Amino acid sequence: MTEIIEAIKRSAIRIRKAINEEELGYAQSANSSGEQQLKLDVLSDTIIEEELARASSVKTIASEEKSDPVTINESGKYLVGYDPLDGSSLVDVNLSVGSIFGIYEGSFSGPNLVASAYVVYGPRTELVVATIKAERFRLEGEEFVFMQELALGDKGKLNAPGATQKYWYPHHKELVESLFAEGYRLRYSGGMVPDLHQILVKGGGLFSYPGTEDKPKGKLRKIFEVFPFANIYEKAGGYAIDESGRRLLELGCGDIHETTPCFFGSRYEIEKVKEYYEKA
Ligand code: F6P
């Protein structure tokens, strides 16, 4: 496990430099979700693949930018699913983006996730790793220095509602509005990593990416985005559920690019989600 975390750190340092210095613009390709790839998506994917290939415990990698998993070392123990540069369309407007990693044993599914991590490329570069606890580090020079253990409170003040409002189901709209009516403040950049990081660091709130009339299964991918963050929220004392109130980490996965509606937050807000969704 340590060598995988070290590979993630080396990748983060290289991707930070690429974001700062490399050319923006589109590559000549689309990813398997049909999204046009940026040159930075492709470069970040290559960097992570190169660094994970140096970790002998990694058997298979699956990237949001690749259509299928790739076995890199038959005798490795772990499978790593990653989103190399989540929210990459925000780079041109200079908002924060991130890399997300899920480490699995056996196969890619919620119950098989054993650890996860993400990197936020913001004004500073930070790394959060969740094995037993959720721990936050900051890049200083070439070193990631420990900052704090992340712990969510019982209730927060932030509301980060994703997806196209026009297609929200009525019960979802009521949920979001009820939180605003209680005084919650809107925080939504359109980057999953900084949006979820903000709630974690500020100690509570709700991030939701629901199923909608146009996309009943939501947008966020289980293996690369949802399961890794579900683990981090739970390790920080929070909750991560789907639209039926089930723990996200109990969900299986068919195709590696499968998506699911998802809700991440502290106890109070997740209880609210259950209340409004049970009424639906
Ligand atoms: O998966 C890509 C992504 O950019 C996430 O980082 C983010 O949470 C989401 O899409 C934003 O989607 P929308 O603009 O539909 O709310």
Question: DSSP secondary structure string, 242-273?
Answer: -TTS-BGGG---SSTT-B--EEEE-HHHHHHH
Query: CA torsion sign, 208 to 211 to 213 to 214?
Result: positive
> Of 116, 149, 182, which one is at a domain's C-terminal end?
149
Taking each helix axis from N to C end, the angle separating 39-53 and 2-21, rounded to the nearest 10 degrees, works out to: 150
| Predicted pLDDT of residue 273 | 98
> Of 149, 174, 201, which one is at a domain's C-terminal end?
149
User: Mind listing the pLDDT tens digit of every residue in the chain (280 residues)?
Assistant: 899 999 999 999 999 999 999 877 777 777 766 677 888 999 999 999 999 999 999 999 999 999 999 999 999 999 999 999 999 889 999 999 999 999 999 999 999 999 999 999 999 999 999 999 999 999 999 999 999 999 999 999 999 999 999 999 999 999 999 999 999 999 999 999 999 999 999 999 999 999 999 999 999 999 999 999 999 999 999 999 999 999 999 999 999 999 999 999 999 999 999 999 998 8
CA of 103 to the centre of ligand 1 (A): 22
Query: What CATH number did the domain enclosing 245 receive?
Result: 3.40.190.80
Whether 14 and 133 map to the same domain: the answer is yes
CA of 218 to the centre of ligand 1 (A): 10
| Predicted pLDDT of residue 261 | 98
| Predicted pLDDT of residue 44 | 96
CA of 54 to the centre of ligand 1 (A): 31
Nearest CA to ligand 1 atom 13: 163
> Of 149, 172, 204, which one is at a domain's C-terminal end?
149
User: CA–CA separation, 260 vs 245, rounded Å?
Assistant: 12
Strand partners, 128: 118, 136
| Predicted pLDDT of residue 69 | 96
Domain, as residue range, for 203: 158-278
Whether 111 and 242 map to the same domain: the answer is no
Whether 31 and 132 map to the same domain: the answer is yes
Nearest CA to ligand 1 atom 14: 190
| Predicted pLDDT of residue 89 | 87
Sort strands 134-140 and 125-130 into parallel, antiparallel or unpaired.
antiparallel
| Predicted pLDDT of residue 38 | 83
| Predicted pLDDT of residue 200 | 98
Whether 22 and 140 map to the same domain: the answer is yes
Q: How many structural domains compose the chain?
A: 2
Whether 189 and 140 map to the same domain: the answer is no
Taking the whole predicted model, whether its pTM rises above 0.75 is answered as yes
